[in-house]
Amino acid sequence: MNDHQKQIGLSGELLVAVAQGSFDPDLEQFDEQRFLENWHLPFFIVFSFLRRYVKLDHAAAQGDLVMSMIASEIWLHNIGHRLGMSLPLPDATTLSSEEYRRSTLSKCNSHSISLALGLSPETVRRKVKKLIDIGWVEKSARGALHITAACEQVFTPEANLKTMRDFVGTARMLFNQLGIDGGPNSRAPSFPEAPASEMQRTKVK
């Protein structure tokens, strides 16, 4: 675990779990009854963020969301495999080196992407070719794939900061709705509770 991971409280075990698609069960705890009694507003908050992000992703991927899904899966494997093996991630400057990516990042192939996303092999092959043509993916002679630094540069630092601010604000609003302590710096606004009559009608028996 590097200094930055220690600073933000991420243990090696947690990073491995995240890389493998799971979380510490303690992190999933919230007042589920409170949520079920008034779930529309929390879902509205979540879906509003997702819609904003998908809109940006749609534009960046030239309107091809399937291609974007495949690029994301390659990126997640490239980065996540290191985390899954408890290997530290280098800083952004190092990761901006194409030579580093070619020599060090874990690669995947079209077959594994097809299995992971439930897409036909032909669809994956066609979209991977398009990703290679536009410079977002490199493919080795043995068919190993990795996302290029050029692909990441489509999402500028300013755009990434805007997305992260949006996500943090969304998370704090969601924590507020679910009664979760968002931390000492949380400034999530309060939303009005549904009228008692509505709460009673939606209460799970």
> Residues 74-104, buried b or exposed e (16+ Cβ, 10 A)?
bbbbbbbebbbeeeeeeeeeebeeeeebeee
**Rounded Cα distance, 79 and 95, in Å:** 10
One-letter-per-residue 3-state SS of 109-170: CHHHHHHHHCCCHHHHHHHHHHHHHCCCEEECCCCCEEECHHHHHCCCHHHHHHHHHHHHHH
**Rounded Cα distance, 14 and 144, in Å:** 28
* Weakly modelled stretches of the chain, pLDDT under 50: 1-9, 183-186, 188-205
- Taking the CA of residue 138 as centre, how many other CA atoms within 13 Å lie in the half-sphere pointing to its CB? 17
Q: Where are the alpha helices (DSSP H) in 20-120?
A: 32-37, 40-60, 65-84, 92-95, 98-104, 110-117
**Rounded Cα distance, 5 and 162, in Å:** 22
pLDDT at 133 (0 to 100): 97
> Using an 8 Å Cβ cutoff, are 98 and 149 in contact?
yes
Helix (H, G, I), strand (E, B) or coil at 89: coil
Report the candidate in 146, 18, 2, 24 with the shortest Cα–Cα distance to residue 84.
Answer: 18
pLDDT at 181 (0 to 100): 78
Q: What is the pLDDT of residues 122-144, one digit of tens each?
A: 999 999 999 999 999 999 999 99
Q: Please give the CATH topology (third level) of the domain spanning 63-148.
A: Arc Repressor Mutant, subunit A (1.10.10)
**Rounded Cα distance, 181 and 140, in Å:** 47
